[in-house]
A and B are shown apart, each in its own frame.
Chain A
Amino acid sequence: MSKKLYPNATAALDGLLKNDILIASGGFGLCGLPERLLDAVRESGVTGLTFVSNNAGIDNEGIGKLLRTKQVRKMISSYVGENKEFERQYLAGELEVEFCPQGTLAERMRAGGAGIPGFYTKTGVGTLVAEGKEVKNFDDQDYILERGIVADLALVKAWKADETGNVVFRKTARNFNVPAATCGKVCVVEVEEIVPAGSLDPDSIHLPGVYVQRMIVGAPYDKKIEFRTTRSREAA
């Protein structure tokens, strides 16, 4: 039996949750969201949380649920649309928001996890994002200094993992889950299925087990779709 595998999300988060910690969460919109783990964070009642996450969920989904219970103090995100409660708290000054360009956000997480405390990027040069940041010129081009992010805890949703924590994701549900996983001091992953060691192709592991400390099986999932778009067979 895997030492990394826990019976449920609450058990997997035992001892990791405190008020005012920084949590990195995977997911893009509702795709690849660590929904079981986010639910367990809500039930724990911890408050003052800072989330680094591309989005803030939507009303009653993802981090949106934790906004409703006022457990979130600050969001570091690139896009926070389609969320009325977020909008209300933000406009009322109850919620602090640090807008970060999406690629810079992903790289800040990747860098933090890779032991790189800062890096220069041309993204945001000459914009509000550059305010207060060091500007350095390389080869006649200006770049701004952005900081790597190391989170107290990373929450990740994956497709399959083997017993040792080697992880694979499915389609576009990978998104921010990899950079989030690597930037966490502790990373907890919820998967749809645990498979025996040796049944995943070692050449096709998306996240090696070294980054994964705890796991749960979150299935069955009722994956939600934000915008269902289709074509009719007649038109094909």
Chain B
Amino acid sequence: MTTHDGIAKGWTRDQMAARAAQELQDGFYVNLGIGIPTLVANHVPEGMTVTLQSENGMLGIGPFPFEGEEDADLINAGKQTISELPHSAYFDSAQSFAMIRGGHIDLTVLGAMEISETGDIANWMIPGKMIKGMGGAMDLVAGVKKIIVVMEHCAKDGSPKFIPACTLPLTGKNVVDMVITDLAVFARPDHNSPFRLIEMAPGVTAEDIAARTTAHYIS
């Protein structure tokens, strides 16, 4: 894999999802965002039970339906057709966000445009561009027990995305616990501590990370 800024190494999107899946634990209730986070579902370790929540009102998301078995009344938050499992449960949107806001969901994996060194996240609007809305992202980062962000280390123009302070409007303030990029993993034990560089993709050096990160972190 060649990244945009010329490092001929780093994790693929699927490998980033697999790394996020290492944070799953047996019995977890998990909400996965759209994009790379959705791929985490393909990496649940064998023998582990993880129940996926869909914020439009379902626990126990099953795989895409077989052709011909699509049901317009059964979709995920990305509005894609899905299937149910023997342990699935349905509920309304107020109940769905009660379990999110109330801290009953163990883990969420989200994408982001910017993350600050103090755990702020920006992933819903770019001033001057058409705003589609925050959907459930602000509720998820405010209420879920552990927040993991999966994103490319740098933007398309090569600028860092893990930065001292977000320049874009925030989705949540001081909420992120772990950042997984194509180059590295940063984590912190609590919301008063700085992020620490805990892992690098194969072939990536600490210097590579430092050159592409303006956020302060412990290495």
Which residues does A use to contact B, with CB under 8 Å? 28-32, 54, 77-81, 87, 90-91, 97, 99, 101-107, 109-110, 121-129, 159, 169-179, 206, 223-233, 236
Contacts and interface: CB of A to CB of B under 8 A. Distances in A.
5 contacts: A31-B73, A81-B132, A103-B97, A225-B72, A231-B65
B173 interface: yes
Given A29-B75, A176-B92, A91 B81 contact: no
Interface in B59-96: 63-82, 84, 90-94, 96
A229 B67 CA distance: 8
Q: Which 6 A-B pairs have the closest CB atoms?
A: A103-B97, A126-B173, A103-B139, A223-B72, A178-B92, A81-B132
B20 interface: no
Interface residues of B, number: 55
B55 interface: yes
Interface string B127-154: 0001111111111001100000000000
Nearest to B82: A229
Q: Mostly helix, strand, loop or mixed at chain B's interface? A: loop
Interface in B35-77: 54-58, 63-77
Interface of B: 54-58, 63-82, 84, 90-94, 96-98, 100-101, 120, 130-139, 142-143, 169-174
B97 A236 contact: no
A230 B78 CA distance: 14
A80 B133 contact: yes
Listed residue (A90, A110, A175) with the most chain B CB atoms within 10 angstroms of its CB? A175
A184 to B, nearest CB: 14
A127 B136 CA distance: 14
Listed residue (B68, B71, B73) with the most chain A CB atoms within 10 angstroms of its CB? B73
